[in-house]
Each structure stands twice: as C-alpha cells, then as structure tokens.
Chains A and B, each alone.
Chain A
Amino acid sequence: MAILSKEEAQAILKKVIGFSKADACEVSLNGSDGGNIRYARNAVSTAGQISVMSLAVNSTFGKKTGTATINEFDDASLQKVVKRSEELAMLAPENPEYMPLLGPQDFPESTTYNAKTAAMTPDTRADMVAKSLEVSKAAKLEAAGFLENSTRFNSVMNSKGLFAYNKSTNVSFSVTVRNQEGTGSGYIEQDFNDLDKMDTLALSKIAAKKANGSAGAKAIEPGKYTVILEPLAASDMLGNMFRGFDARSADEGRSFMSKKGGGTRLGEQLFSENINIYSDPFNPELPSSTWDRDGLPNKRTQWVEKGVVKNLSYSRYWAAQKGAQPLPFNRSIVLEGGNQSLEELIKGTEKGILVTRFWYIRSVDPQTLLLTGLTRDGTFYIENGEIKFPLKNFRFNESPVIMLNNVEALGKPVRTGSGMIPPMKIRDFTFTSLSDAV
C-alpha cells in the first residue's frame, strides 16, 4: 500500500486538487516501506519494519498559505484535509517571500529504483547480518551493526498543472568490529540503491581487519601532518561544505561563500586547481531524483571547476531578488579524482597518517568552516609507502576549504554519505590533541 505507482499517485493527487477552492493549491503524496535490523555483542538486538504514507496540502489565498497533512485516503478524509489547509491559510499572515506556483515541467525518469532492493524481507536482512556475524565470530571479535532498507515514492501536483513522481530504493549497512580486549576497533559503512552491490561479508572483513590492525596503537605528538583520508573520512569533512553552496546566505554576508566587501565568491578561485565538483542526478553510481521539492528539474551542474566557484544554488525567491536563474542543490555530488587506489596513494607517501573515518564533527566557526572532531576506528602511521603501526586517535581542528587548498593527490571516487568522494592525500592537516578512545 505504501508504495504507489505513478498512475495511482497521480489519480489521488488529481482528486485532491479537484477539491480545492484556493487561489493556488499544491499537494504532495509520499510513502515509504522498509525495515531494519540491529545487532550488538555479536547478537541481534532489535529488528523492525515500517510502512507509512502521508499527504500534505498547501493552500494559498493571495500570499497566505496554510498546510495540513493526513494519512487517511478515503474521499471524506481528502476533502477534510483540503478544507483544513484552506482554513489555516485564511488565518495565516502574508508571506512576503511567497512565489507563484510553477506550471508543468518536463522531468526525465530517474534511475533511483531497484526492484531487488524493494523486494527485501526480514529474512533477507537476517541473512545479511548472519554473514557479518560469521566474520566476527570466526575471528573472535565482537560486532555491532545496523542494516536498513527502504523503498520510497515522492509525488507532487499543483493547481497549475505541475506533476512530478519519483520512486527510489536504498539499502545501507554499517558495522563496528572490536577486539575482546577493547584495544582495537574497525568500521565500515556503505549504502546503495541496488542490493546486489551490497556484500556484508566482504565489508565486515574490512572492519575486522581494521579491528585487529588498530590494536596496540602508539601515541605520536599532535601537529600538522600529511594525511591520507579514506573516502569515508573525506566525505565526513566535506558534507557540511557542500550544503554551504547557497547564494542567499553568501549574499547576506554570513557564509564562507561571502565576499569581503559584499557579494559572493562566485567566480573566485577558492580551492586548489585540481578540485572539480559537480552534481548529476544520472550518475550511475549515485543516482538521485530528477526534480527538487520546489518543482525545479535537477540537472547536471558544475559547482567548482579547477578550484573556481562556478555556481551557487538559488531558491526561486532569491533568484528573483538577484535577477539570477533558480538552481536547486542536488545531493548527487561528485568530487572528481584520479585513477589511483588507496593503496597506491599510501605507496606514494613518505611520511603520513591514514585516517579511516572521523567522528563527532561539529562546526567551530561558520565563517571559515572550521570543524572539530576526532579520528575513529583505525588510524595508522605511514612511512616510506607502507603502513607501519596503528596510532592513537587524534582530535583535529581543520576547515574543508583549507583542506581543498592542500590537496597533493586524489584517488578514485567511491560512493559515500556525502557523494562520490575520492581518497585524498592532504598536506598540513591540523591535529590538536590526542584521545585515549578506542
């Protein structure tokens, strides 16, 4: 029930729009269906399954908008929710930033859905976790992990004739493997649209190898080091920066994208020349919806070219204020790299530190995007192109903007939480203290 086809969604949305008496009406209908399984101390702890669907109606009179939501879909309920949104609109203050609805748009079909992922059952999930537990038990290590899959549909229709629909699937897995003495810990996380790409056995082996390899860590003085960031670690640093490619906060003078003296850094060389960043909803490794929630099409967009800021995202309102074209931000970000593997990056490093992942990253200064956080689950010392010994974890204070000015080499991008991100070799990365945490 929770996953409607394009035609089923369209039929409900049409009916709801038909009940509207407002000047403008926009209706969205979304649903998800999925499940999860959690384990700790080498045993399953919780497992769940959830299916939800909800409909939201935005009614507008003049510049006054009201929203109401409902999760019942009989005619009487649909009429009620429209009426309630209209009543709320009448009571609402005028929104000076209200933008008229968009008319019909042309959205190509996305590639975000995979039928095999959609067909996952509690048994599929249990089997995938059993493979992970096989690894930890055989190695006399302790695993704690989480596997989750979901199928979603999103659809929207408005009274000016816009209609958009997207269906997607996702399966995500993470596992922390620790040794019994609590002196070593390894971690891996991965998500895909396509179940066939997910190999919990192989992933758990990586985490187990790190758990063993990180035991007996040595302390070295904090300071500035050349680091190799695995894609997950690099992704942890960059996610926050990508969300800052926003014209409005930059124009308002309160973003790292603001220019001294006013305006934005659009067109400025903000990063090293080897930095190219784009988004593309049709990236085969990281597909996304072909429309955004404002009803605008998501298209391939170059954000940074040879270190120069080429685009900032504009909401429809801000674009109108600035005489710019509206441009949505899209999460299918690709930071282009090279063809080198992580191993090759290590091989080419005389002295450095390999970082598996970062943890508890928080913004320290939004003007410079300075972040603090810690290394976690496997940090290693590299000398003469080889991993020599595990290191105690560090706290860092570093800005991803500064980091992308200190890039020595980039490997092959892989899918992470923030986009397609390569492993990176960065000089002068700032570690400020040591942590005893394992």
Chain B
Amino acid sequence: MTGVGLTATMVQGMPAFGRQITVEEALTPVDVQLKKKMADIALNAARSKGASYADVRIGRYLNQVVSTRETRVDNISNAESYGLGVRVIANGSWGFAATNNMDNDSIAKAAEIAVAIAKGNAKLLTEKVQLAPQKGFGEVSWKTPIEINALEVPIPEKVAMLLEVNKEAMKAGAKFVNSNLFMINEQKYFASTDGSYIDQDIHRIWPNFTVTKVDSAGGKFETRNALSAPMGMGFEYLRPKDEEKIKGGPVTMYKKRYDILEDVKEAVAHVEEKLKAKPIAPGKYDLVLDPSHLFLTIHESVGHPTELDRVLGYEANYAGTSFLTLDKWESKKFNFGSKQVNIIADKTQPGSLGAVGYDDEGVKCGKWDIIKDGILVNYQTIRDQAHILGLKESQGCCYADSWDSIQFQRMPNVSLAPSKEALSAADMVKNVEKGIYMFGRNSYSIDQQRYNFQFSAQLAYEIKEGKIVGMFKDAAYQANTQEFWNSCVKCCGQDDFRLGGTFSDGKGQPGQASAVSHGSATTRFNGVNVINTGRRIG
C-alpha cells in the first residue's frame, strides 16, 4: 500500500517492476467493464468521504527485456506490475493512495486513505489547488497504432535475431558485442469525477547494441552504439524498408523502420575508423547535427527548461530550476534562438514515445508552439498549473510511471520543426569550411538551470571546405543554450525529419522515469566551441 499527498512533482531508470509472468499472461488484458466497475468503486468512495474531485488510474504495466552478449543470452525478463492509484482533492489539497489488492474493499480503502491524506495536508496548505476545467469524455479508448504487437512475437525469435546481430558483428571483426531489445506495453485505464472512462493501450520498443573493438597493443578501445531510436511502435520497427532509409552520407540513417543487421555491420567498420581517427584541435567549428544526435540536445536544453514545475521551483532540490523564468515568457520577446528555431510540443505525433490519446489526468492530447520564430511563447503544463499561464485548459502533460506513482508534469515530445525548403543533409555540409558532422548520442551534461551544456557523439566526421574528409576523435562541444540556438542557421526539410528519444527520462523524488521523443531534421549551427577530451592516465 502506498499513501501519498501531493501538490508537485518528481528522477531515473526503467520503471520498477513487478512480477515475472508468462508470455501468455501478458497477452490477456483486463476486461474493460471490470476496470470501469473498480474505478467507480474508488470514485464513489472518494466522493462519499468528502472529495471534491477524484481520479483513478488502473494500470497494468508490462515490460519485456531480452539481453545478449556475443553467443549467449544474458537475460530474459517478462514482468507485470498491476494495481490502482486514486488521487483526490479534499479541502483544497491533493491526496493520493494506491493498492495492488484489487478487491472492492481494498479499492474503497485506498480512496479513503487518499481523502484522509488530502485533509491532513490541507492544514499545511499555503494555496488551494486550482484545477483547470476538463470536460468528461464518457467511455473512450486509444491505442498506439501498431502493426505487430511486440509481446506477441515469440521470445525465441527475438533471441535468434539478437544472436544473429552478434554473429554479424563478430564476423565483421568486433571483439565484443552486447545487444538488447526492450518492449513496454502500458495498459492504462483512467476515470475521473469529470465523467471520463478512458482505456488506453500504449506500446513502445527499443532495439540497441554496443560493438567494441580493442587495440590491445596500444591499450585503447572504442565502441559504437546502435543508431536506432526508441519508438512508440510495434515490432514492425524492426522490419526494414528501403524507403525508410537515408543513404548517400557517411552513415545509413533510419526513419520509421530500422535495419539492425545493416547497422551493426556499419558499426564495426565505424569502430575500426574510430580507433584510427585523428584527435580534434580545440576551437570554433560549424556543426552539422544529425537527428540521432540532436534529439538529446533538444531534450536537455529545450525540453527541460520549459517544464513549468521546474520554472516554479518544485524541482529545485533535484533536477534544478530553469533559466526560462516567467518574466522572459511574459516579455514576449525573449529570443531563445534564431528565427529558424521553431520548437513544437506534440503529444499526438505518430511513432513517438510520448504519443497518447489522453494524459494521466484525462486531458485530450494536442500540439502547441513552445518557441516560435526563435521567441519563447509557451511552457508545458498540467491541470493545476494552467491558471499560472492564464490558460483555460491544461496542455495534457501529466504522467505517472506506475499505478503507485503520483502523476505530475512530464515532458511531451518536443521537436525542432524542419525547414519549409526541401534541403538535404548535403546542403547543410556543402558550404562548411571547418566543421564537424555528428551522429548518435554519447556523453551529455547540462547545468541545473540549463544554461551551460556539453555533448559528444558516437561519430564525429571532419568537414573541410564543404567535404567530409575523415573522422575526429575526442570531440565535444560546449555552449550556452541561448547562444547555441541563436547560432542555428538552417535545417533540412521534412524529408529528412526523424525522431530520436529516450526510454528513461528521470525526474522527481522519489524518481520516476518517462519515455519521450524529440524530432528534427539535420541542422547546422555556426561557430560552436569544441574541446578535445583526450587524456592520458597511468
């Protein structure tokens, strides 16, 4: 039993699980009418104890992981976490309680505890909760538009696929290879005293590998991770299609279909190249950033500082606050970036990790501008924050990573809009005199108000006089967020637009994980400070 009172927010890792179940058990959903009945028990109990508002989340969180190393299976896990959380407002204060005993008495008891906690916390209130109005939707449902349910694909097929990846890597000359497949299915039922009964079936998948080569004589090693993206898709993501590949550059890139066998072979060749790459000379470079890299810079330097709870100070003791204070937004002229910079929050984007029909407080999801023509115009909000921005309704950014976690403000998909011109990656590279073309996520670090950051990439190619001439090693760029986004000179067009993302964005205390995507096309930034991170020890 969890009992929690709240007004605020939350940090790290995959969602906590749960019990190991058989594959067959995972494929049997809970009957929707049974969920409605349980929800009504909770809502009625909350109301009868004096709640002015209540919502209930019945969550069944399924998580399957297959991990391999060279010729062997490291781990197969198929786990479920199932339970119910009730959140209420009583005497103007939030209260929350959760249980995994799904009998009527336990459900009613959880609702009662939530009300008691709310009333207890009301005594410490400085300000009553102001909840943005939300109409009830009645009985509705939403499902990630998948073609193949990854949990229905037999585990031996997944093991065989990963071992084939490892075999190809070893055949191509890798010394070590680890490969993994992560699959998540959130079966979430939400009901509230506003009159919503929302049944959602959300799917996510993430194939990944790391290839390692060792130069034993030189005492060096290099790795390259998969250039896949975690996606809000089914197993079809792993069925390659030529039209979803971008070829012609130094690296094959993938849109909504991923070719893991092709990528692993390229990865081994890249690792060989990395071992022989030339150390970068520190200085100013023009950067051409591939979406497989840029997504994380967007996440850290745009996504997090525009979270309204950080701006207000609720995350001060952990993740930090934000440089994008309310006065900058109120001025309507804070130039976050150059005119090319249009950042859009979108909870509906197909294939994205954050796509859902409704958020975890029953708000229908949508799309809005955060940075428009370089100016800060909006943040990310939930129902009890909307009034702070003068909004009449929430933007639908509420999420909890489990039935026993309190829902709070989490980042929607936040993406950089592509150019309206049909520019290609070659157009980004061609006029660069001294630059770097970066692919894939690597080291990342940013301060607690999101001013100063440092990022490095899986692959950093040298651009000289408009041509890619080789590979750099030990390259990392350091910048100030506002200066960096003001150095953005152009983006590729829609044809080059791709999603990157993370399965485990951490926030809050105790920590909660959420999955979120960030899209962009290949983008160019001029005159960014680059350092050399090579050192010698021993």
Contact = CB atoms under 8 A, between A and B. Distances in A.
B317 A437 contact: no
A373 B218 CA distance: 28
Interface in A38-72: 38, 40-51, 54, 56, 67-71
A323 interface: no
B76 interface: yes
Q: Which of B449, B450, B538 has the most CB of A within 10 A?
A: B538
B221 A253 contact: yes
Interface of B: 1-9, 19-20, 22, 71-73, 76-77, 79, 96, 100, 117, 121, 124-126, 159, 175-176, 212, 214, 216-221, 223, 312-318, 320-321, 323, 325, 404, 406, 443-452, 454, 456, 474, 476, 478, 480, 509-510, 529, 531, 533-538
8 contacts: A46-B4, A48-B96, A176-B316, A178-B313, A376-B447, A395-B447, A435-B451, A438-B449
A359 interface: yes
A289 interface: no
A270 B536 CA distance: 12
A262 B445 contact: no
Contact of A68 (B20, B214, B533, B538): B20
B111 to A, nearest CB: 16
A260 interface: yes
B176 A254 contact: yes
Given A253-B216, A254-B176, A399 B535 contact: yes
Nearest to B479: A433
A96 B159 CA distance: 16
Contacts of A97: 72
A372 B448 contact: no
A182 B445 contact: no
Interface stretch (A138-146, A154-162, A195-203, A420-428): A138-146
Nearest to A98: B72
A69 to B, nearest CB: 5
B447 A370 contact: no
A50 B404 contact: yes
Contacts of B476: 364, 372, 397
Q: Which of B124, B217, B536 has the most CB of A within 10 A?
A: B124
B220 A367 contact: yes
Nearest to B126: A43
Q: Top 10 A-B pairs ranked by shortest CB distance?
A: A260-B219, A435-B452, A45-B8, A48-B4, A437-B447, A253-B214, A144-B316, A437-B449, A144-B317, A368-B535
A178 B316 contact: yes
B452 A433 contact: yes
Interface string A226-267: 000000000000000000000000001110101111100100
Contact of A41 (B5, B221, B313, B531): B313
Contact of B124 (A44, A54, A69, A367): A44
Given A40-B313, A376-B448, A48 B3 contact: yes
Q: Which of B73, B126, B449, B535 has the most CB of A within 10 A?
A: B535
A67 B447 contact: no
A175 B509 CA distance: 12
Contacts of A145: 317
B531 A397 contact: yes
Q: Which of B117, B217, B537 has the most CB of A within 10 A?
A: B537
A270 B76 contact: no
Contact of B219 (A92, A259, A437): A259
A93 interface: yes
Given A46-B406, A92-B76, A373 B537 contact: no
Given A260-B217, A402-B537, A175 B317 contact: yes
Given A360-B446, A373-B445, A436-B480, A45 B176 contact: no
Q: Which of A46, A369, A373, A433 has the most CB of B within 10 A?
A: A46
Interface range for A? 35 or more
A146 B316 CA distance: 11
Contacts of A44: 5, 121, 124
Q: Which of B126, B223, B451 has the most CB of A within 10 A?
A: B451
A186 to B, nearest CB: 11
A372 B531 CA distance: 12
Given A148-B510, A176-B317, A402-B535, A46 B449 contact: no
Interface in A352-369: 359-365, 367-369
Interface SS of chain B = loop
Interface of A: 36, 38, 40-51, 54, 56, 67-71, 84, 87-88, 92-93, 95-97, 142, 144-146, 148, 174-176, 178, 182, 187, 252-254, 256, 258-262, 265, 268, 270, 359-365, 367-370, 372-374, 376, 393, 395, 397, 399, 401-402, 432-438
A51 B2 CA distance: 7
Contacts of A372: 443, 445, 454, 476, 533
Given A45-B6, A51-B1, A367-B221, A261 B216 contact: yes
B151 to A, nearest CB: 16
Contacts of B216: 253, 260-262
A53 to B, nearest CB: 12
A174 B315 CA distance: 13
B72 A48 contact: no
B463 to A, nearest CB: 22
Q: Which of A148, A365, A376, A399 has the most CB of B within 10 A?
A: A365
Nearest to A45: B8
A50 B402 CA distance: 14
Nearest to A401: B537
Contacts of B313: 40-41, 142, 144, 178
B3 to A, nearest CB: 5
B219 A261 contact: yes
A359 B452 contact: no
B314 A436 contact: no
A47 B218 CA distance: 54
A438 B316 CA distance: 11
A38 B19 CA distance: 28
A127 to B, nearest CB: 13
Q: Which of A148, A259, A370 has the most CB of B within 10 A?
A: A370
Contacts of A258: 219, 221
Contacts of A253: 175, 214, 216, 219, 221
Contact of A48 (B2, B22, B214): B2
B80 to A, nearest CB: 10
B430 to A, nearest CB: 30
A133 to B, nearest CB: 10
Q: Which of A48, A253, A370, A438 has the most CB of B within 10 A?
A: A48
A127 B74 CA distance: 46
A374 B456 contact: no
Contacts of A40: 8-9, 313-317
A436 B452 contact: yes
B275 to A, nearest CB: 11
Contacts of A96: 71-72
A268 B323 CA distance: 46
A374 B450 CA distance: 11
B159 A359 contact: no
Given A253-B175, A369-B537, A402-B537, A359 B73 contact: no
A180 to B, nearest CB: 11
B379 to A, nearest CB: 17
Q: Which of B4, B216, B316, B478 has the most CB of A within 10 A?
A: B316
A367 B456 CA distance: 15
A164 B216 CA distance: 41
B2 A49 contact: yes
A252 B176 contact: yes
Contacts of B214: 252-254
Contacts of A41: 312-314
A370 to B, nearest CB: 5
Given A178-B316, A260-B217, A397-B531, A436 B451 contact: yes
Nearest to A38: B509
B19 A71 contact: yes
Contacts of A46: 4-9, 96, 406
Contacts of A38: 8, 317, 509
